[in-house]
Amino acid sequence: MFSWRKGSNGHGSLSGANGHGPNGGDGAAAGSLIDLRGIRKVYQTDAGPFVALHGIDLQVDAGEFVAVVGKSGSGKSTLLNMLTGIDHPSEGQVIVGRTEIGRLDQGRMAEWRGRQMGIVFQFFQLLPTISVIENIMLPMDFCRTYPMREREKRALELLELVELADHAYKLPTALSGGQQQRVAIARALANDPPIVIADEPTGNLDSKTAENVFTLFENLVSQGKTIIIVTHDSSLAKRAQRTALLTDGEIVNEYVARALPSLSNAQLLKATRQLEKIKYDPGAMILQQGASGENFYIVSKGTVEIVLQREQGSDVIVAQLGPGKYFGEMEFFHERQNRASIRASENTPVEVVALDYNELSELLGESPTAKHALHEAAKKHEQENIQKRGKRS
């Protein structure tokens, strides 16, 4: 198991002195650390234009752990190339911190990437003719982020982190595939970047080593790093804080996928295209008990409160729903009359995504499994409301 050592200052031992952590350099911007706006990528092929990405919008906050998943050909690697500046979008903007990376020339891009992003490739891409420790020192040499006399010491610390210090002066070819991947992770951390991007980092590893690599990423996130990985391993992806599901070059709304997991990827994408995003101020009323319902709602940001009216006395809050939770399913199955009032929490603004009942009906008509699951949830929630109203009246 990889270890994470804490120094005397209480921070991880990898915290560098170069000021390029999550709060330093170009990464120190308010709001989302990474902001992809309307990213479209078109490749010209012999058969004509091929659209790899269709208007991708994606925001990632500092310190988040995001897994990008999807079938082969869905656009995952293309998306990573946009994020890292290895390739440029045909349309749209990639903004990392305060930097719109599409405006950087090739030289500035390489140095910016070296300081702000650590990239872990699926096939390691270690230089075979120099030692392991020299591979790790290369990013420091290129970006001049550490004094010359400190670089070897830092590289050894990174190798200790991935439990390979004993192999520091060997050539990469003397190491196993799993060991080379760990060296690649150590190299990605060389300049203490705020962001680590990994393309199938566990794809060529046995299950034990893959688990250890993933645990290392989790530890890095706990220390403030922002991690974005592409993975085919669904069990590992579920351990990330968020999942971005790519289907045919588009991102499925993660909250729809969480609320209606029985829908196919194509159905989830169809639902995503039909969503309406609605924002509410703290304390604002979203639905009034007894009024006619029109939409199925999924919370995407903030917290909403379910409020029941009692026959005597004041209203009572019976539940709170956070991101990924939904409401309006009882109304969909029962005369479309709101069974409770729903309001935004008084503490923070709320954002929901809404799906018209007619559109929801069409989707559920295509998926009997999803319809049954939602119907069962509606019956359960209605019974809970009846019980809670009775206990508190």
Domain boundaries, the chain: 25-252, 275-392
Tokens representing residue 61 in the block: 């906050």
Q: How far is 181 from 162, CA to CA, in rounded Å?
A: 10
Q: In what order do the strands lie in the sheet with 195-199?
A: 117-120, 195-199, 226-230, 65-69, 242-247, 250-252
Overall CATH class of domain 25-252:
alpha beta
Distances in Å between the Cα of 315 and the Cα atoms of 61, 86, 340, 350, 374 are: 36, 56, 10, 21, 27
Cα separation, 139 vs 136, in Å, equals 7
- Look at 291 and 133; give whichever has higher pLDDT: 133
Percent of the chain having pLDDT more than 70? 89
Indicate the burial class of 333 (C-beta count within 10 angstroms; 0-12, 13-18, 19 or more): middle
At 224-280, the pLDDT tens digits run 999 999 988 888 888 899 899 999 999 999 899 989 999 998 999 999 999 999 999
Residue among 229, 175, 167 at smallest CA distance from 203: 229
- Can you tell me which residue has the tokens 């690599």? 213
> What is d(CA 140, CA 105) in angstroms, rounded to the nearest whole number?
21
Q: What is the pLDDT of residue 227?
A: 95
Q: How far apart are the first and last CA of the chain?
A: 54
**CATH of the domain spanning 275-392:** 2.60.120.10
Assess whether pLDDT exceeds 50 at residue 67: yes
- The CA distance from 308 to 312, in Å, is 11
CB proximity list for 27: less than 8 A, separation 6 or greater:
20, 21, 33, 62, 96, 97, 116, 194, 195
Q: Quickly state the pLDDT bin for 364 (edges 50, 70, 90).
A: very high
Q: What is the pLDDT of residue 31?
A: 67
> Among all chains, which residue has been given the structure tokens 């196993």?
176
